[in-house]
Structure 1
């Protein structure tokens, strides 16, 4: 079955398996991408933060614990929103059940907009960038990460199971939508 964006996380078994993989200390999110995001963000204390595709809001929880003024997470999966809301319970955070495309971006409301491994699901990236620009305060910052095309260039290397035995790059330079076999 094919899922678009966040809808895959509404499948209970998928969400459970994803959370297990995602929470490993050696996951690419934790070992590589997370530290780089913090480096790019720089100082965020007393900042209003918008997180697009916030997932379980563990990033938001960390940001709030480290001094962010407030946190707003946007997530399109009902199940993931439940997890996210429980993660930031009793903190100055809000989670909206919305997609990046459907969210009503308030004008000049945030000091920082983040998105971790999520905006590559958006079909109209120019519109998203315009909305982000509109919602940033003066001197605000947009810091995001995307999935590298190497990881979706060929799925033949995953045919032997969950771990890749090699990294075939036969479709690396093909432009356009990539369909990932969840």
Structure 2
């Protein structure tokens, strides 16, 4: 199933008003952890899967990447990305992540931010990414944490006064689609375990180099007290892997 909610005018309007849509990487709380997993990008050829507004594409060029290709299924996303980009070394292509078919060793670095939980077959994507990376190339990805995706409701269990008592987890090992609510719309997310993410990478030939569940530090808590919730349960899973 290839979802494209972002070309629905109402959904895209709501998404465009989100803080991370307006403020870019600086407004995305997980960005420092994601950047910390990236290799040196100077002179590298970079592929961004599910590039959205192109924030990471432009960041890669700021870090002096040689060239960047960003793909996304959404026409609206890519139009916004192109309008925000003035760089001939960044190319945007309208393409579903599931349909990538790049040449062997075409890229040095492949990145993807918060996109793969919308993709049904992560194992297939891993094999395709492995194919298009050079030997020693890097694959860095972030997804919603499986603790977060296990239940479709994706919400706290509340007490009688509306207090957040705990984050419920159930059917963790029952992988597959979940119909979740996002921006007042029904969206399909694919739940898979941490083990499935890690083993799909290993089985494709990758070596895992770093895994992060984004534990907030004191500086993050001082700047935004809402990060306290991420101490109670992880919302993000970030993985860096190398082609060996």
Q: How much has 1:86 moved relative to structure 2?
A: 1.8
Matched, 1:51 2:48: yes
- Partner Cα separation in structure 2 for residue 17 and residue 165 of structure 1: 27
1:73 match: 70
Q: How much has 1:24 moved relative to structure 2?
A: 5.9
- Partner Cα separation in structure 2 for residue 168 and residue 45 of structure 1: 41
TM-score (norm 1): 0.83
Specify which structure has the higher proportion of strand: 2
TM-score (norm 2): 0.64
- Partner Cα separation in structure 2 for residue 7 and residue 103 of structure 1: 16
2:178 match: 178
Matched, 1:151 2:155: no
Question: Where in structure 2 are there 5+ consecutive unaligned residues?
Answer: 157-161, 186-244
- Structure with larger Rg: 2
Question: Where in structure 1 are there 5+ consecutive unaligned residues?
Answer: 159-163
Size of the aligned set, in residue pairs, is 175
* Contact kept in structure 2, 1:58 and 1:87, CA below 8 Å: no
* Contact kept in structure 1, 2:107 and 2:132, CA below 8 Å: yes
**Aligned match of 1:63 in 46, 60, 64?**
60
* Contact kept in structure 2, 1:106 and 1:134, CA below 8 Å: yes
After superposing the two structures, state which structure 1 stretch, 116-125 or 137-146, moved more: 116-125
Q: What is the RMSD of the two structures over their aligned residues, measured on CA atoms?
A: 2.8
